Structure 1
Amino acid sequence: MVRKLCVFPNDSLLSYYKKGEIKERYFNPKNWFDEVHVVSLFDEEIETHYVKTLAGTADLVIHKFGKANLTNYKGYERRVTDILKEIKPDLIRSYNPLVQGWIAAKCAKNLDIPLVVSLHTNYEQQRLELKKERYLQYLKLSYAAKTIEPFVFKNADAVICVYKFIIPYAEKMGAKNIHLIYNKVDLDKFSPTEKELVNKKPTIISVGRLIDQKNHRYLIEAVKDLDVQLIIIGDGPNYNSLTEFAARISVNNKVQFIRRVPNEELVKYYRSAIIYAQPMENLGGIPMPVLEAMACGLPIVMSKREHGQSEDIDDSIYFVENDPKEFARAFSQIISDTTMQKSLRNNVLNRIRAMGGEQMENKELSVYQQLVEPQSK
């Protein structure tokens, strides 16, 4: 029996590749599927051989349809359905409940194929943020909340939330069979072994897209009066303003910006650091770099969560107010106190081992098996 999975990703695989986010078996837990078919609803896409590892040992096929959005998505239904009729997948997975989710749900319903929808953000929270700054996008997502999202959740056989804070949104939208499965971290790859990069000064690292909500400016301010090195890895709309800010406050000699590092090379940067820092504003969940840094044994300094939000890692994190002075105080305390360093290191390692990639991959596979195997009997 040849098992086939059809994936509707949240972004183009080209985008995954550019961000250095090509991860082994990301679409194929435990190599359970023999074929992985990706339905790409984007104008630009990458050649298959660059991203083959996403499918593990399975054959990877990318079906390119061009850009779909909230204004033209209905025209894609028949075209995608015809392709899926030929593929005959055992399961469909959509990585959002919007355009990709709607088309995936339509195909799943028409062809009687199990559908799994995964949620990587709280769209209700996202709408509130967009209402303040990008009203047109807010209106589009408000339309989706009334029409597209309820249809997707109604037709999803299982919903995977990658953070706890997303679950209330999924429940409110009528999702059933909800599973909490955190992003997978390969603990064999990300581990606290010998340093490959040696820095002269204590090094603080932060990895992620350079956007307003992540407040990297706070970290730049925090190191102004500290004898440390700050490494910021990531790209985004704030890249130029952040580099200019570092120069303006005369800390550009302490701050190193690296726009992109392939995921397989990130580990050596984590191992070179003494602290991982994650400022956040109105962003719930656990950014993937936080989990990777934990696996490398780095103490995590992170902005306090909003009231009512919590995740399984929280008992191992050093939380501070979202303020440059508070980050600076935490950095100084950890760097000067080796006993604290050791305690925080042990805490993060114990926590990440309990929720590592192996456990999450098994949970994801179990969801698939429960939906697929009864149909094959």
Structure 2
Amino acid sequence: MRIAFCTETFLPNIDGIVTRMCRTLEQLRDLGHEAIVFAPEYSNRENVSEYCGFRVIRLKSIPFKPWYPELRLGMPSTRIYTELKAFEPDLVHGVNPFVIGMWGAFVVRQLDVPMVASYHTDLHQYAERLRVPFLIAPGRIHIRSLHNTAQLNLTTSRPMVDVSAEMGIKRLRVWPKAVDTESFHPENRDPAMRDFLSQGEPEKPLIICVGRLSHEKRVSWLLEPAKRIPGIRMAIVGGGPAEEELKAMFAGTPTFFTGYLRGKELARAYASADLFAFPSDTETLGFVAMESMASGVPVVGARAGGIPDVIDHEVNGLMFETGNREEFLSQIERLIRNPSEREALARRARLDMEDCSWRKATQRLVGYYQTAIRAHRRWNPSEWVA
């Protein structure tokens, strides 16, 4: 099968959408499929022109200023049409379609090609956190209209099916969750990494948080545990627009900001911690939670978005009610004070993640593609997948 991806984010960005894209492309290659990727061009950064043997077509873009300057909005380009026509795809997949996805949707009509779209961002939550609530209503209309041009729409977790349906998006299926259980493994636990993360105090309980340092991720919620739980160390892994503000906020607490870690370093960081504290309530899935669990480190996460699709409360981790800072703090304290419970949750977390392979998820995705192609052949949208 020949698949064209139109995505609003890609390398060198590091986020859950990019992780899913990269792992999926690798699996598609191994399964014998062909692909091409249309993605924004990032100014003053290294823009890869291919990934695992597949071409990456970069499109001119502008920053989403002043609200989210690291987000790039792809500009209209006839190159999408010419490159898609030359590639002759069997199907186009719009990943979180907004601008590039809009042009991809327009072109698929011209070329008479089926389309699948996937919804990865909780628009309402992000708009509220970025203080742009005036974008919610027009954004919902735009996103709904784009998705409903597709033969099939995918969400990243079961809870997001309901969110998407409430927006008016039709023909919904779940793109199965997956994690690399070979790269992220308890065997990566490393005394030298633990010493680094704890800044020379490896004997103390170590809390980790991995992710983008931006306001919508609620990283500031980690300040209370850092201040109020005695005898701990905390490591915050990642970077983003709020990094300097957060460093100033956490000054004087037992907290270390590592910056971005990748590959084996990141895998060792996860496995060398005792607990992953995850305050974000804007996740449509939560790849970092899955990576931590695969590493044998239990997660305290919000009962919101896609997190309940990952964490089974008091079975493989703990959850707290979104917005409840005190419960977030108390669940962290509970696991810090009860190593035996923490270890039991860790074992079950690893076991549960072992069943979430990228090969299985990608084979299911290819099945969805085949369903969309069959639906497209019927021509009549009223007969598309219900």
Query: Which one of the candidate residues 123, 147, 162 is aligned to 1:168?
Result: 162
Aligned to 1:56: none
More strand by percentage: 2
Distance 1:29 1:115, change over 3 A: farther
**Mapping for residues 189-200 of structure 1, pairs under 5 Å:** 189-196=183-190, 197-199=193-195, 200=202
Distance 1:74 1:64, change over 3 A: closer
Q: Does structure 1 conserve the Cα–Cα contact (< 8 Å) formed by 2:8 and 2:97?
A: no
Q: Distance in 2 between matches of 1:320 and 1:116?
A: 34
Unaligned stretches of 5+ residues in structure 1: 54-58
Q: Deviations over 1:268-313 (max 9, x none)?
A: 00111010110124x243321101001111111123438x994253
Bigger CA drift: 3-12 or 36-45? 36-45
Aligned to 2:151: 157
Aligned to 2:216: 213
Aligned to 2:296: 297
Give the alignment's TM-score, normalised by structure 1: 0.81
Q: Which amino acid aligns with 1:366?
A: G
Secondary structure of residue in 2 paired with 1:26: helix
**Mapping for residues 1-377 of structure 1, pairs under 5 Å:** 3-16=1-14, 21=19, 25-31=23-29, 32-42=31-41, 44=43, 46-48=46-48, 52-53=51-52, 59-67=53-61, 76=76, 78-129=78-129, 133-134=131-132, 138-139=134-135, 142-146=137-141, 148-196=142-190, 197-199=193-195, 200=202, 201-224=204-227, 225-247=229-251, 250-251=252-253, 254-281=254-281, 283-305=282-304, 310-315=308-313, 316-320=316-320, 322=323, 325-372=326-373
Secondary structure of residue in 2 paired with 1:103: helix
Q: Distance in 2 between matches of 1:198 and 1:75?
A: 44
Unaligned stretches of 5+ residues in structure 2: 65-72, 196-201, 378-386
Distance 1:106 1:318, change over 3 A: same
User: CA RMSD of the aligned region, Å?
Assistant: 3.3
Distance 1:174 1:205, change over 3 A: same
Q: Does structure 2 conserve the Cα–Cα contact (< 8 Å) formed by 1:20 and 1:260?
A: no
Offset at 1:369?
3.5
Q: Distance in 1 between matches of 2:60 and 2:259?
A: 27
**Number of residues of Structure 1 aligned to a counterpart in Structure 2:** 353
Offset at 1:207?
0.5
Distance 1:309 1:160, change over 3 A: same
Distance 1:312 1:227, change over 3 A: closer
Q: Distance in 2 between matches of 1:350 and 1:363?
A: 21
Offset at 1:364?
1.6
Offset at 1:238?
1.9
Aligned to 2:380: none
Offset at 1:367?
1.5
Secondary structure of residue in 1 paired with 2:187: coil
Offset at 1:181?
1.9
Secondary structure of residue in 2 paired with 1:13: coil
Secondary structure of residue in 2 paired with 1:179: strand
Distance 1:29 1:171, change over 3 A: farther
Q: Does structure 2 conserve the Cα–Cα contact (< 8 Å) formed by 1:297 and 1:348?
A: yes
Q: Does structure 1 conserve the Cα–Cα contact (< 8 Å) formed by 2:6 and 2:104?
A: yes
Offset at 1:40?
2.5
Q: Does structure 2 conserve the Cα–Cα contact (< 8 Å) formed by 1:16 and 1:22?
A: no
Distance 1:297 1:100, change over 3 A: same
Q: Deviations over 1:31-57 (max 9, x none)?
A: 2354322223435474536x623xxxx
Percent identity over the alignment is: 21
Q: Does structure 1 conserve the Cα–Cα contact (< 8 Å) formed by 2:237 and 2:260?
A: yes
Q: Does structure 1 conserve the Cα–Cα contact (< 8 Å) formed by 2:114 and 2:376?
A: no
